[in-house]
Structure 1
Amino acid sequence: MTPFAKFLLVTAALLLAVAVMLGAFGAHALRNLVPEPALLTWQTGVLYQFIHALGIALLGVFVLLVPQLPFAKATGSFFLVGILCFSGSLYALVLTEWSWVGPITPLGGLCFIVGWVSLAGSLFRLPTRPS
């Protein structure tokens, strides 16, 4: 296993574990502390963290199969920054009501989009074999 593939897979596993903990925290501890719209915001952060942590895991598997996958580091970086900006800003907004974090959320969403397009570009650049 390459160090980068290992990094991606370990990072994904940890992000998924944290997503489970944050989901449980939202469902149990926050339920009585914040209004329903804030709970929905929290759940959105958790959902996007789950999806993109799975994206990082998928990228790790691709890197195991093709160690020199084009754009792999960029893709992983965009997913990770996207989780920190998108989900992180939503968590901060719910817990602190800091309105200034609101503009960070779309930047995280943009990172997610660029990450998925980067992954598509990586896969597109791979040579194909006749079946």
Structure 2
Amino acid sequence: MSQFTLLFASILGGLAVIFGAFGAHALKKILNEDQLKSFETGVKYQLYHAIVLLVIGFNLSLDTTLEKYMVYSFMIGIILFSFSIYGLVISSANNKKLKFLGPITPLGGLLLVCGWILLCFSILNL
């Protein structure tokens, strides 16, 4: 589980750098200021939580059910939160806003919060 977590975190971290550069250079020409800020929020949250997964993967055994739920909450939360923001921003810039993604963003955020809460419980159980 630790190796999978580290691999997933490293892929998401690398993608965050790529998406950040893409947003700063290519999308800067087609997005308005609010859209660009939203895109940057997705990138920041993706990178922050990829770093959290790296720290968790290197420091916890990830053997318990609690720790596994914590990791999955972070992983799924990152994908739902950040990638729904990317989809919303890019689709609205093309005047074809994918409205079904709107409710997915807060669901991803809720999973990220759950990951943090489970991390607290994991630390308290040590």
* TM, length-normalised to structure 1: 0.87
User: Which ranges in structure 1 are unaligned for 5 or more consecutive residues?
Assistant: 127-131
Q: 2:104 is matched with which residue?
A: 104
Alignment of 1:1-131 (within 5 A): 4-63=1-60, 66=61, 68-69=63-64, 71-97=66-92, 98-126=98-126
TM-score normalized by the length of structure 2: 0.91
The amino acid that maps onto 1:60 is: G
Instruction: Give % identity.
Output: 40
- Provide runs of 4+ in structure 1 moved above 3 Å: 66-70
Contact kept? 2:70, 2:118, Cα under 8 Å: yes
Q: Distance in 2 between matches of 1:67 and 1:100?
A: 34
**Between structures 1 and 2, the one with greater helix share:** 2
Shift of 1:6: 0.8
Distance 2:72 2:17 in 1: 22
Q: Which moved more, 1:112-121 or 1:68-77?
A: 68-77
Equivalents in 1 of 2:64, 2:53: separation in Å?
14
- Please tell me the root mean square deviation across aligned C-alpha atoms, in Å: 1.2
Equivalenced residue count is: 121
User: Which string of whole-angstrom CA distances, capped at 9 and with x for unpartnered residues, describes residues 79-131 of structure 1?
Assistant: 011111110110000111212211111101100000010011011011xxxxx
In the alignment, is the contact (CA less than 8 A) between 2:76 and 2:111 conserved in 1? yes
Residue 31 of structure 1 deviates from its aligned partner by 0.3
Whose radius of gyration is greater, 1 or 2? 1
Which residue does the alignment assign to 1:129? none
